[in-house]
Amino acid sequence: MVLFVAWGITGAGQFLFETVSTMKKVKKNFSVKITTFASKAGWEVLRIYGLLPEIKKISSGKYYEEFFVSGDGSFPVSGRLQLGKYSLLVVSPCSANTTAKIVYGIADTLITNVFAQAQKGNVPIYILPTDQYPCETELPYVVNREKCVGCKPCPPMEKCRYKAFEFVDGKARINLEKCWGCGECVPLCSYNAINFRVKVKVKPRKIDLENVKKLREIENVKVALTPWELENLVFNFLREKQK
């Protein structure tokens, strides 16, 4: 039996790589079709971190394996959840902004609308919110200005297909509005000035913690603390459904 899973991705770098890894494992280990719903910011972080090709493999565009993005006219598709067409909705990573909207009943974006429709259709919902505890997140491709010597010509700038490099105050910078996260620039810099997935510490705000607590109180919702807990929840659910 093939199960349909809806998966929402918001604009958060935290837990993003772990999320895509779990989605790939789900496709590999179960008979499922995954429809990916991404907010505009979600699509942007997938692009910046170079993960769009992976998502397009998971959700290839076939029926119930589409990849919908906010702004592409896909809101009506969220009605599938109200009709109970999906066995499960997963929202991961779920940004602090999306969590806040959900707990206050706001459904004005693709992801929050999908959530609302899933509740109406009595579809189980698993969520992995960001900003639950002090932790580390990872940065996209950036130029380390301490290492950059301002080469002219700059090989990464000359070779970048997306024209994402620019000079600011005599040193290179990556314009993330243009970057597609391909990583081709990294070996081109002789000074190792281009970094990727550098870890930085983040601390949640008090209001973020309060909203996650409220999220845990919503009916038919299970909130995961870590990506590994989410993976176990999803795997156990699918195993049970496919017995």
CB burial of 26-49 (b: ≥16 within 10 Å; e: otherwise) equals bbeebebbbbbbbbebbbbbbbbb
* Residue range 20-34, pLDDT digits in tens: 999 999 999 999 999
**Residue 56: its pLDDT value, please?**
96
pLDDT of residue 71: 74
Taking CA atoms, 155 is separated from 48, 162, 237, 240, in Å, by 20, 14, 49, 53
What mean pLDDT do residues 166-180 have? 96
Nearest by Cα to 230 from 130, 122, 107, 98: 130
Q: At what angle do helices 96-103 and 206-216 cross, to 10 degrees?
A: 50
Does residue 11 register a pLDDT over 80? yes
Q: Are 94 and 129 in contact (CB under 8 A)?
A: yes
**DSSP letter, residue 75:** G
pLDDT recorded at residue 114: 95
Q: Which amino acid is at 210?
A: E
Counting residues of the chain whose pLDDT is more than 90, the rounded percentage is 91
- Please, what is the average pLDDT of the chain? 95
Cα 17-19-20 angle, rounded to 5 deg: 70
Residue with tokens 């391909």: 182
Residue 203 has pLDDT above 60, yes or no: yes
What percentage of the chain carries pLDDT values higher than 70? 99
CA distances from 146 to 141, 173, 193 (A): 15, 12, 8
Residue 74 has pLDDT above 60, yes or no: no
Confidence of residue 73 (pLDDT cuts 50, 70, 90): low
Which structural domains are found in the chain, ordered by start?
A: 3-134+203-241 (3.40.50.1950), 140-196 (3.30.70.20)
- What would the mean pLDDT of 102-125 be, rounded to a whole number? 94
pLDDT exceeds cutoff 90 at 204: yes
Output the pLDDT for position 72: 59
Rounded to whole angstroms, how far apart are CA atoms 88 and 234? 9
Is 200 within 8 Å of 102 (Cβ atoms)?
no
The Cβ of residue 51 has, within 10 Å, a number of other Cβ atoms equal to 17
pLDDT above 90: residue 235: yes
**pLDDT tens-place string over residues 84-100:** 899 999 999 999 999 99
Residue 229: phi and psi, rounded to 5, are -65, -40
User: What's residue 233's pLDDT?
Assistant: 98
Which residue is associated with the tokens 């070996």?
A: 187
Burial class (CB in 10 A: 0-12, 13-18, 19+), 83: exposed
Distance CA 36, CA 6 (A): 6
